[in-house]
Structure 1
Amino acid sequence: MAVGPALAPSSSPDGFIHLIDPNRKWYNNRRLIVLHAWLVLLVITSSTNGYDGSLMNSLQSMDTWKNFFNDPQGGTLGLLNAIQAACMNIHQFIGARFLLGFGLSIATNSAPMLVTEVSYPTYRPQWTSLYNTLWYSGNIVASWTAYGTSRIQNNWSWRIPSLLQGIPSVFQFFLIFLVPESPRFLISKGKEAQALRTLAYYHADGDDQDPLVQYEFEEIKAAIKLDQETQKNVGWKALFATKGNRRRMLIIMAIAWFSQWSGNGLVSYYLNKVFDTIGITNSTIQLLITGILAIWNLFWAVFASFQVERWGRRFLFLTSAGGMLLFFTLQTICSARYAISPSPSAAHAVIAFIFLFYAFYDLAFTPLIVSYTLEILPYSLRAKGFNVFNLTISIALIFNQYVNPIALKNIAWKYYIVYCCWLAFEFAFLYIFIIETKGRTLEETAALFDGEESAALQQATARVAEVRHEDYDEKSSDPGLKA
């Protein structure tokens, strides 16, 4: 269960908001600044993932890389993407990519959960959305590093970008032991005093009697107790045991698949192949466009991250899918036009529509896929459901990385038609199934999936916390007790 807006509702119309000190801001509170520094260390995981995903795209535009590995094509190229710098042959390169992917898969499962659970309440939505958004920061570093080293006329042109990929992970390895542990994990292990100290230190300048800290602490304990009492009912089968959970998992697996299979996989991993189909074969120009696209993506993804509460999840998802369908269709038409009668104008139009396609992709499928998944899952199933989310993405990536290069090689632009049809299906699915969670607590979201009885049970449990901080307010207002 996430800290912050995910807290149980109180009797106040403003929920827990009235418990927050309005003078405590991230920029004027030393401990919040420290907490956000630790969160930056955690979201570096997403940047590292973005670097990894973009690196292969950039390397494929380098003649030195293609010559060293004998210009891999089709299934071999897909294997290289699916699986660093000291490699002496293609087998070592595949092995290094495999180990890197194995480590990243573990880190990307745990980092966003910890970001969600230690964030200060009023900043949790932004941090949760920014986590996946910062994939593009790694994308930018990889793209522009490769653009700079492409001028080196030897194997260091691709070895340097590969070496730089490991630097953020080195910092994480040595500093991760200093990052605060999740209060929920501590309470689940019986370390309640340590959990209270963690909440108090970062959320209330060390005051463990602060109303917000007491509210969070009691709410977490109540949720953990409820989880332990129903432990027999929250195994892996519980993900699909009820109608509400089945709908949750359908949505989660769908948006995970959509995030990798909306046509973006062609650009993320095989942009150079797309360039080849429209006659842009100069490696320097390819790398320059890739670098500019990375900056464009980061801008739109960060912008959308701060509009989640203002515009709502459903609006962003539908706008994103509709825009992607429009501009991917136009990209397909211009690619076909170029194939029939090559012209610079058609090639330039394809590039323009790729940029517009990504602007709409970044409205929802960068910031929302992680935050929406965590929002709609109840506490007892959140970790398991998030693992299913990441597994689905991995399967979609593997499918993309093997099928895309083969299809592009054999049928070129005609392969885009498949994605046009799929994007139309995505829009219809999202219109039918996406539920708006704007401004709702997790308990209210549960009512949307499980009915009022489930929500009432969780709200009744959370009243323990409400009574606790009401008692605290009464004591604080009594001069005699203060003395």
Structure 2
Amino acid sequence: MGAGPAVVSDNAGYAHLIDNTRPWWKNSRLILLNVWIGLLLITSSTNGYDGSMMNGLQSLTQWNDAFGHPTGGKLGLLNAIQNIGSLAAYPFSPYLSDGLGRRTAIFIGALLMVGATIIQTASHSVGMFIGARFLIGFGLTFAASAAPLLVTEIAFPSQRAQATSMYNTLWYLGSIIAAWTTFGTFNIPTSWAWRIPSALQGLPSVLQIFLIWFVPESPRWLVSKGREAQALKTLAYYHAKGNEQDPLVEYEFEEIKAAIAFDRDVASNIGWKSLYKTPGNRRRMRIIIALAFFSQWSGNGLVSYYLNKVFIAIGITDPTTQLLINGILNIFNFFVAIIAGLLCDKAGRRRLFLISTCGMVVFWTLQTICFAIYTKHNSVAAGHAVIAMIFLFYGFYDIAFTPLIVSYTVEILPYALRAKGFVVFNFSVSLSLIFNQYVNPIALEKLGWKYYLVYVFWLTFETVFVYFFIIETKNRTLEETAALFDGDETVAMISEKAAEQAGLAQNENTDKQSNTSDEKAIDEVRIN
């Protein structure tokens, strides 16, 4: 008999159903599942690669010569055009992901990105390069809107938070590869100094095109399409070595069916208006939109796309030194984000967000002071201190805003709204990025260190918001987490629906057993 969703508590209702006597790395099915999750996670690497690649290309004389040494608005467009392409695809991505499936959306997005990467690598004009980057952003939206949803919906329950947290963390893997690729091609005298990094951007998408159909489809999507037998088989294969009667599998299956059945009963809860129609959904949207803008408006945008401008402002003009610091910074960010992501269930989301915002306020303020001292006194020591403060600032940024913004967003959304709500998140990220990519180079050039003061006040506001509005979600299933925002009434209704589902399943099993017993008795009579 399948269990219904437990009442939300400090410990997940499924915890006692997990066999902790054998570590996951000794379970071949879980190893295989995590390999497929790894294939999904590298979607984020494509995005991270782009930001670091554009940062590195700006330090390459060969790229600047090829495209007329772009500055100001032209440089802003070159950086922002990918996000403009992403915005263009957002109206279509939730329907593709919910209608055709998570895997199909990733496949289509990967195809578009591979084609766009080929055009980008072959570019011989600014227009061609801009057009290719628009298409990369368009394809990335389909893949990036579906991949984290699929990760969180197929991951083993006790590993879900960590696996989903790795999604945005893998942004830095792409960033590291791009940073060191541009550093390695720096001495190539021809246009291949920038064409090689451009070509490598398509590698994650090539892997996904060939391997995505080996990845299991989301059991929640399968149930929503009436393919319950396939959903149960998928859960059993990866979570219980094929045992469909495993208590954990039964718990997951009944909870998924109950939540989706509840959403169907409340038909008004699946449209775009539902994102702000109920108090619970308004709370979700407030948090999701805020985190999207915080993730790009915390000062990190200056480093992500315009680090070379910061270097020049503090007297570091040697391209080799710029590329070297960029490469080391990305490695540092990657390891800090991984550690923080793995601690998300132990430390808790709320605590990590508070530590992150408080630390950013402190070290951005110190960075501003050092920048001001350098500007006024041309102090070499102050210039070097700015670099140290950048590393420390990013260390605290990586504690929450790298690993948690995607995982927290998808886990607080119920299944029926997950694709649409995640599109709102990505749309908000793209809007904030486009603004940053246009405004940052202009404001930094006009205001210098004084521009940093804007972020000091903004980071303080972020800290206050996090303190009052972020809700702790650690150690809960997706359905339990969604119920946190909707109140006890919704929890009770879902529990009732799960009990009904479980009761039907039990009756079916009883009937089958009874029929089997009757058949055996009849056979015995016949034999006698």
Q: TM-score range by the shorter chain?
A: over 0.9
2:27 is matched with which residue?
29
1:17 is matched with which residue?
15
* Residue 226 of structure 1 pairs with residue 262 of structure 2: yes
CA displacement 1:391-438 (0-9 Å, x = unmatched): 100111111111111112222222111111111111111112112222
2:239 is matched with which residue?
203
1:68 is matched with which residue?
66
The percent identity for this pair of structures is 62
* Residue 283 of structure 1 pairs with residue 319 of structure 2: yes
Shift of 1:244: 2.1
Q: 1:437 aligns with which of 463, 473, 481?
A: 473
Give me the whole-angstrom Cα distance separating, in 2, the residues matched to 1:14 and 1:176: 31
Question: Superposition pairs for residues 45-56 of structure 1, below 5 Å?
Answer: 45-56=43-54
Contact 2:363 2:392 (C-alpha < 8 Å) held by counterparts: yes
Question: Superposition pairs for residues 2-401 of structure 1, below 5 Å?
Answer: 8-9=5-6, 15-83=13-81, 84-401=120-437
Question: Superposition pairs for residues 462-477 of structure 1, below 5 Å?
Answer: 462-464=498-500
Give me the whole-angstrom Cα distance separating, in 2, the residues matched to 1:177 and 1:42: 11
Contact 2:340 2:400 (C-alpha < 8 Å) held by counterparts: yes
Q: Structure 1 residues 424 and 433, CA, compared in 2 at 3 Å: closer, same or farther?
A: same
Q: Structure 1 residues 125 and 470, CA, compared in 2 at 3 Å: closer, same or farther?
A: farther
CA displacement 1:240-259 (0-9 Å, x = unmatched): 11222112101110001000
RMSD value over aligned CA atoms?
Answer: 2.4
Q: Residue type matched to 1:31 in 2?
A: R
SS at match of 1:15: coil
CA displacement 1:119-159 (0-9 Å, x = unmatched): 11121111011111111111110101111111212211111
Q: 1:402 aligns with which of 418, 438, 456?
A: 438
Q: Structure 1 residues 237 and 349, CA, compared in 2 at 3 Å: closer, same or farther?
A: same
Contact 1:57 1:272 (C-alpha < 8 Å) held by counterparts: yes
Contact 1:120 1:203 (C-alpha < 8 Å) held by counterparts: yes
Q: Residue type matched to 1:369 in 2?
A: I
Give me the whole-angstrom Cα distance separating, in 2, the residues matched to 1:445 and 1:167: 35
Contact 1:117 1:183 (C-alpha < 8 Å) held by counterparts: yes
Q: How many residues align?
A: 472
Q: Residue type matched to 2:5 in 1?
A: A
* Between 36-45 and 219-228, the greater mean CA deviation after superposition: 219-228
Give me the whole-angstrom Cα distance separating, in 1, the residues matched to 2:42 and 2:454: 34
Give me the whole-angstrom Cα distance separating, in 2, the residues matched to 1:446 and 1:168: 32
Shift of 1:470: 8.6
Give me the whole-angstrom Cα distance separating, in 2, the residues matched to 1:466 and 1:332: 59
Q: Residue type matched to 1:210 in 2?
A: D
Shift of 1:221: 1.7
Contact 2:12 2:476 (C-alpha < 8 Å) held by counterparts: no
Shift of 1:194: 1.4
Shift of 1:191: 1.4
